[in-house]
Amino acid sequence: MSAILLLYSTVDGHTLTICQHIRRILEGEGNTVSLRKIEDAADIDLAPFDKIVIGASIRYGKHRPSVLEFVDKHRPHLDGKPSAFFTVNIVARKPEKNRPETNPYLKKFLQQARWRPRLLDVFAGRLDYPRYRPFDRLMIRFIMLITKGPTDPATVVEFTDWQRVDAFARAICVLD
């Protein structure tokens, strides 16, 4: 059993949904999990935690600045403990871009962060046009047009492979 800090950064809420799912699995295995929004955890003491997991979404090709800021500030602790990172993005709906070694956003983040989590993954997110603000809906539809994705403004599609999320959560349990 471990004390696990599960941090998230989300734009539309789907990364939080994934983190809540991971939390249920981790707690079901007897771990204690603290789920926190990364923007609210800048000064958190990482010492009491045995493992640290960060999940972050992508919007317009970038993670939110707070993710990199947190990693930069806490890199010594992150490097000294078992840690994991996952990113959530719509491009991961494509098989050729849904692995840590093939996802351009994860690769770019790791180059910027210079942090090497022991466990990495990439999950496809959720497309929910009706929830987006008009500008975001327009921009995301344009991106989907270019990448041959759904463009109907009424579309709601969840691309997340929940079995893969389950496997990631189980891997966190044995991470050392």
Domains of the chain in start order, with CATH, are: 3-125+160-173 (3.40.50.360), 127-159 (no CATH)
Query: pLDDT digit string (tens) for 56-97?
Result: 999 888 899 999 999 999 999 999 999 999 999 999 999 999
pTM of full prediction above 0.75 = yes
Contact 140, 104 (CB under 8 A): no
